[in-house]
Amino acid sequence: MASSLTENLAEYLGSPEPAVRLILSILIGYPFALVYRRFLFHQSPSVIHLFHAVSGLSLAMFNFGSQVYHSALCIIIQFLLLRLMGRTVTGALSSFIFQMTYLLTGYYYTATREYDIKWTMPHCVLALKLIGLSLDYYDGGKEPSQLSAEQKTAALQTTPSLLEVFGFSYFYGGFLVGPQFTLRNYKRLVSREMTDCPGQVPNSIVPALKRFCLGSFFLLIFTIFGPYYPDSYFLTDEFEAQPFWYRCVYILLWAKVNLYKYVTCWLITEGVCILSGLGYSGRDEDGQPQWDACANMRVWIYETTPLFTGTINSFNINTNAWVARHIFKRLKFLGNKMASQFATLFFLAVWHGLHSGYLLCFSLEFIIVNVEKQAQALVKDSPKLTAFANSPLYPLIYIVQQFIHWLFMGYPLLAFCLFTYDKWLKVYSSVYFCGHLFFFIAYIILPFLRKALVPRKAKSDRKED
């Protein structure tokens, strides 16, 4: 019955059935959160864990059927690793190796040449959650003086129960598309601490509706304009026959529109987390409650920043924070920030999948971000460039910078979405590898521009920094 309904709805909307099931599953989080608020908020932790586990499992079965065993198996094995290996380096490494190996094996056996919504999609979210659980458990065995302030807020002092791990893993507000959150925060939710009214249901309906409406707005934009910018058009003779400027503008608009499908999912899911209370992050300086603990998007910054780093920092925030905390900062022993950054981006590429497009996308991101940082330092240290940037011409500068920004945000995204070597190579050839050339040339000439435009004192100050 459910299958026929989703098939009919998918046919009516002109969307793939798995995509319809996914968006319905995200929306079902709202009634689940309302049931939790109305009937379970004051129940015992075991009852709440059971509700979260059953509701999340139901969503998993609705989307992936019997393949739900993949997530259940990994959760059970993760629990056994915690219990049998304890707070040891071996335990943390075993968890990392097992979860990543299972995920990558899943990618290998299910991979196609197109983007498919299958069990590996939520499993990549789950893999991070379970690896993070093991690392937080390991941190809980250290002396407080050995932990950073960030680690102290997440470290686990006690061993979680199996039911607790299941509830944490299958929580309906984070199982399918994220966001990432710690077991410590989940336990605070269950113990009624994630609320602006201690011990009472949070006043979070209005903030949740705001995120829901904002997510629905972006869903509407994607639904209307998405069909005009399909990935498949890049591989047609018609695209190749278009003028160079048209191809570049198409890449820009395609990237902008297609990223809205991620924005939609994260905003609507954030609303579910806020409604349940998991989004509560304390009060601001004026005493107003804040609901951004599970925010995966900073929408205003995302839409207005002319910087690549600004877009990256406002997009998929919780995953980026997870990777920064558990990968980048734990690679401090390498003694080289750039090496840590490269290794972190390599991890992100592999975590997304085994296609060459992921590796190329994150390699380009590494180059783009580092060139941008050099350019920002040049403008800051050069009095002439600083004066020019602060001149009345700034609106024109902003427009040009924003065009370059979104064109070359879409450029690496091509490889990310087209996956395979033959596809992305064809498209990059059609635009003459303009992104590669632009940033390679920028990397070459920036040191020369610095010598010409930056006073000696600023250069020496920058070296000391």
265-279: per-residue pLDDT in tens? 999 999 999 999 999
Per-residue pLDDT at 14: 74
> Is this model's pTM higher than 0.85 or not?
yes
Q: Which of 63, 296, 316, 318 is catalytic?
A: 316
Tell me what pLDDT residue 458 has: 55
Residue 25, pLDDT > 80, answer: yes
pLDDT band at residue 105, thresholds of 50, 70 and 90? very high
Answer yes or no: is pLDDT of 445 > 80. Answer: yes
Overall average pLDDT of the 407-427 stretch: 95
Catalytic residue among 203, 313, 352, 436: 352
> pLDDT for 299-355, tens place per residue?
999 999 999 999 999 999 999 999 999 999 999 988 999 999 999 999 999 999 999
Q: Is 185 a catalytic residue?
A: no
Stretch 241-245: mean pLDDT: 96
Averaged pLDDT score across all residues of the chain: 93
pLDDT of residue 456: 72
Nearest of 421, 416, 431 to residue 362 by alpha carbon: 416
Look at residue 5 in the predicted model and tell me its pLDDT.
79
- Predicted pLDDT at 313: 94
Q: Is a pLDDT exceeding 80 seen at residue 86?
A: yes
Q: Which of 19-28, 77-86, 369-378, 455-464 has the lowest mean pLDDT?
A: 455-464
pLDDT of res. 3: 65
pLDDT in tens, 214-232: 999 999 999 999 999 999 9
Asked if 352 is an active-site residue, the reply is yes
Q: How much of the chain exceeds pLDDT 70, in percent?
A: 97
The reported pLDDT for the residue numbered 16 is 84
- Provide mean pLDDT across the span 379-390: 89
Over residues 244-259, the mean pLDDT reads 96
pLDDT-derived band at 462 (thresholds 50, 70, 90) equals: low
The confidence score (pLDDT) of residue 459 equals 54
pLDDT surpasses 60 at 461: no
Q: What is the pLDDT of residues 157-206, one digit of tens each?
A: 999 999 999 999 999 999 999 999 999 999 999 999 999 999 899 999 99
